[in-house]
Amino acid sequence: MAIEVTEKVDSRESTAGNNATVDLKYLVTGTASDLEAKDALALFSPVGYDGLVRQSRHIEPIGDPTVSLAWEGTVRYGVSEPPPETGESSFSFDTGGGTQHITQSIETINYYASAGETAPDFHGAVGVTRDSVEGVDIALPVYNFSETHYFANSAVTDSYKALLFHKTGMYNNDSFKGFSPGEVLFLGASGSKRGAGDWEISFRFAASQNRDDIMVGGIGPIAKKGWEYLWVRYEDAEDTAAKALIKKPVAVYIEKVYYGTDFTSLGIGN
């Protein structure tokens, strides 16, 4: 049976204005395949209508979809946005952050003990057991942002692609996009060549705040750049008031776990 596509009498519902749309409605018969029905809509419906461009195709089976030979189809037309030109850029961000495992709280608000007992003071250590400090996972304030830039083909050489690879996983040595040195981590880039012959490349970053006021169990103030790693060493100590052996923070270490670099050579400004 041949596939037939017929425009319905209630077709051409339209909206005028800045977000103008037109819906052309069709009856597709002669196939039980939804893929064939959508392909038939694409072949029959015009690419453009009333100055608008075809944006989507939607079908619904009429009757039992497992045996249906009839489909109701809708083709939507809307305003076509001009593609970005070489040299243009776009930006997006979110503050969803990440997670971090910590063993030390900012402050112990209170602690309680059984009647007649004194609760040990662990000096902010979290989840203390007889042998270790287990800690807890918390939400970490991280500012994630991305930029998409459009480069001329001549600018995206093999050397430039290698540069993007080598700088992935590094932080900024200099001020970058309003952030201080050490606060921005380059998470990498993804690119593709467009039909116009230029390149669309998206750059992904995460920012974490530098701190110079961290206190750990009476130790501090401690300075730490955003992407440095802080860890605490604990030792056994005696809480004479509670008559208990505790884990007490005795030293704080700031570790460099990423290399720094100059982001200027990314070619997307400072």
The C-alpha atoms of residue 114 and residue 119 are separated, in whole angstroms, by 8
Mark the ranges of the chain whose per-residue pLDDT is less than 50. Answer: none
pLDDT score of 117: 83
The domain locations on the chain are 4-78, 84-270
- Contact yes or no for 200/190 (Cβ under 8 A): no
pTM score, whole prediction? 0.65
Beta 199-207 vs 143-151: how paired, if at all?
Answer: antiparallel
pLDDT score of 226: 95
Residue with tokens 């990440």: 98
Tens digit of pLDDT for each residue in 100-151?
888 888 888 888 888 888 888 888 889 888 888 998 988 877 899 999 999 9
pLDDT score of 67: 67
